[in-house]
Structure 1
C-alpha cells in the first residue's frame, strides 16, 4: 500500500489507527442495538393464560388499599372469609355478629352469648349453615322454617317467625310478653307494672316510657304488639 499510494510510514500508521478505531465503534454500535428478551407485563401474562385455558392468577391491589365495605366474594362472604348475621330475640347479647364463612346457627348463638333460660329453640335448626346478611331470631312463638328456595330467597332468612298475632299490652301475661324480641322476665314485669299504674295502654308508643325499653328495642317490639 505504501508503494501504490506513495504514503509515508507515519501517514500509513495514522490511517491504520483510524481504521481500527472505526471498527471498534462499529462493533460497539451493533452490540448495543442487538435485540433483548423483554418479560411481558403481568396482566398480559394473565390474559394469555386465560386464552390458553389455564387459571388466571388474581392481581393484588396497590399496597395499603383494602376492599370497600361492599366488596364480597362469589360465595356471599365478606373479604377475609367472614359473614355478618343479625341474632335477635332471647339471647344474652342480641345484635350483629361477625363469623367465619361456613359457620352454623349454633355458632351464631354462642357468639351472641347463648340462649336465655326458658327460650323455646325446638324449631330452630342449630346445624344449619349460615349465609351472609341473614337474621336468626330466637324464642318467638309460632316457629317456621326458612323461606323456600334456599338462603337469601325473599330477603333475610329468619330462624323462627314472630308471634302469629299481635300481643295485647292490656291483657298479656309475663309469659306472653317474653315471646317478644329482647323481652325477659324483668322487662315483662316492668311492662305489666306500667299497665297497672296507668290503667292500661292507650297506644303502643307508651312503651317508650317503660324502664328498660330504648329506641332499638321499641322498634323491634312495636309491630308485634297492640294496646
Structure 2
C-alpha cells in the first residue's frame, strides 16, 4: 500500500508570493490611475536660464482698494480683486458686528476701486445711496436704479437701460461707454460727464 504524497510546501509558498505580488501591482496601478485623474492638466512651464524648468506665473487679477467703515469687525482699507463683490469686502473686514443692519447693504453688487462702503447699524440710515460716492458722483458700475434716476435727464426708462447694458456687458470701463446705451447721445453724455464715475 503506497502513501499519497502531500502538498508540496515550496509550491504553496511560491503561489502565496505570486498572489501578494499581483495584489501589490494592482494596488500600484490603482494609485497611478487615481493620481492621473486628479492631477490638474494644462499647467505651463518655462525654461529658466541654466536649463531648469519652472512653472509659468499665473496672470494675477488686478488689485483694487476699498474702504469699508461702520458696523464691521475691522473697519479699514482693504485690497480686493477686480470683480469682487460687497460680500468680499465685508468678509475681508472680519464680517458684520452684532449691531449691523446686514439688509442695509447689497452684498451681491460689484465693488469698484477707490469705493467707500459704509455698513449702517440697525435703525440707522446709510450715509450714501448704493453707488453714490462721497463726492456725490454716481458710480455707473455700482449704482442702483434709484441712484441713476437722480441724474438729470435719466428717468426710470434710461436707468433701466443702463442697468441692462451693465448686465449684458459687465462693467463700464469709461464714462464714454454710456454712448452705447440706447437713448444717450453726445449731448446727454456731456451733461452727465461730471456727475458720474466708473
TM-score, with length taken from structure 2:
0.34
Higher percent of residues as strand:
2
With structure 1 as the length reference, what TM-score do the two structures score? 0.30
Q: Which has the larger radius of gyration?
A: 1
